[in-house]
Structure 1
Amino acid sequence: MTLTQVAVQAELSHSFLSQVERGLERMSMTSLFRVAQALGTTQQALLTDDADAAPRGAGSFHVFRASEATPLDAGGSPMRVLARDHPRFVPMVMSGTFTEDLWWVHDEEEFVYVLQGRLVVVLEAEEFALEAGDAVYYQGGIRHRWRTDPGESVQVLTVKEGSAGAH
């Protein structure tokens, strides 16, 4: 699939995707979601795919160092992916503010733990206010969105199921 075809299917401009590809622009989580859908994959697969990584055998491990982190832009909220190389699960730390203007639906299961602040999670028609120390888990296929109170920020640890090929 060409960059132009991805841009059309993701409803993003070709020039924007070209700038992202060259490292001149950063993609929001919303844009990443659209690109993943256009490519028939997931955000997690795009964030954790490292073609140069050596295969990891049974009993292997990886220590994540904060100095190794390359923050991503999650729609105005910085995000760090804490594991790579096609893990069975993808832990991420997200910080900032969230608005509920977009519903998310994905196949992967998701666990969200509030580290600091307050996060309102809407699952289908139910709304839950989570404070620091609270958590929520939901299966794939559940329509959801997040929001923070106006002027407030939050820090969350999110763990998502890895891509199907990771298992």
Structure 2
Amino acid sequence: MGKTKAKKAAEKQVDDFEIGAKIKALRTAKKKTLQEVANDTGFSPALISQIENNNVSPPIATLSRIAKVLGVRVGYFFEDEGIESDYEVLRADQRPIVTKVISSSGGQHGYIYHALTHKKRDKLMEPFVLTVEPGVRDDDNQYSHEGEEFLLVMDGEVELLLGEDRIVLEEGDSVYFESSLKHRLLSHGDEKARVLAVLCRGN
């Protein structure tokens, strides 16, 4: 499979996950209104509606808060309906890609992300590769949620807003932190950056 075909296959796979439809189904099953989910997550009903209709994709931190309110793990939204396995091998050309990522204020969030696992269920860790686009500086939108996170810069440079601190991370640098700290990953420099992000869920 050529690179173009592989990319199209990966992009098609993320549609198969139907993240918005899963959120809506969970919300409906729990008899929650859009307003109730909005109140519990701190996001607007309009944003929740956009996500449910697959018009936009939530950043990972936003999805984590929605998952908590609906009583599931964030990895639930990326799981296949296939047979459970004790291990999973994911080829590079099979990574589901999530695009149209939007901030809670409705602005461009500045990255796309690939889910690195979608067959292993009930995981303690949720790994992703983030591609951070240059030029997006949405400093006002920081996020917090339960659990812990590990970031490793694979290529390029990024700036991490972490609590009151601003930390520039270069290729090979890593950081581990409590996800309850307000945080936001920003571009730094004129080139794209790739970051391995591993989320460990809270109790």
Q: TM-score, normalised by structure 2?
A: 0.63
Residue 33 of structure 2 aligns to which amino acid in structure 1?
Q
Secondary structure of the structure 2 residue equivalent to 1:111: strand
SS in structure 2 of the partner of residue 128 of structure 1: strand
1:42-53 superposed matches below 5 A: 44-50=74-80, 52-53=81-82
Q: In structure 2, do the counterparts of structure 1 residues 62 and 144 end up closer, same or farther at CA, with 3 Å as the change threshold?
A: same
Per the alignment, residue 54 of structure 1 pairs with 83
Pick from 179, 182, 186 the counterpart of residue 147 of structure 1: 186
The equivalent of 2:63 in structure 1 is: 32
| Distance in 2 of aligned mates of 1:33 and 1:89 | 13
Q: Deviations over 1:123-149 (max 9, x none)?
A: 211221100000000023222122113
CA distance in 1 between partners of 2:96 and 2:194 (Å): 17
Distance 1:90 1:12 in 2: 27
Residue 87 (str. 1) matches residue 123 (str. 2)? yes
- Whichever structure has more strand as a proportion of its residues is 1
**Corresponding residue for residue 77 of structure 1:** 111
Superposed displacement of residue 63, structure 1: 0.6
- Stretches of structure 1 that go unaligned for 5 or more consecutive residues are none
Aligned to 2:15: none
Cα RMSD (Å) of the superposition? Answer: 2.8
Q: Cα–Cα, structure 1 residues 153 and 7, in superposed 2: closer, same or farther, change >3 Å? A: farther
Residues 146 and 202 of structure 2 are in contact (CA less than 8 Å); yes or no, is this contact kept in structure 1?
no
SS at match of 2:33: helix
Structure 2: runs of 5 or more not aligned: 1-26, 102-108
After TM superposition, list the pairs within 5 Å mapping 1:90-105 onto structure 2.
90-97=126-133, 99=137, 100-105=139-144
- Relative contact order, CA 8 A, sep 6+: which one is greater? 1
C-alpha change, 1:33 and 1:90, in structure 2 (3 Å) is closer
1:6 aligns with 2:34: yes
Q: How does 1:86-165 map to 2 (within 5 A)?
A: 86-97=122-133, 99=137, 100-149=139-188, 151-162=190-201, 164=203
User: What TM-score, normalized by structure 1, do the two folds share?
Assistant: 0.75
Of Structure 1 and Structure 2, the greater helix share is in 2
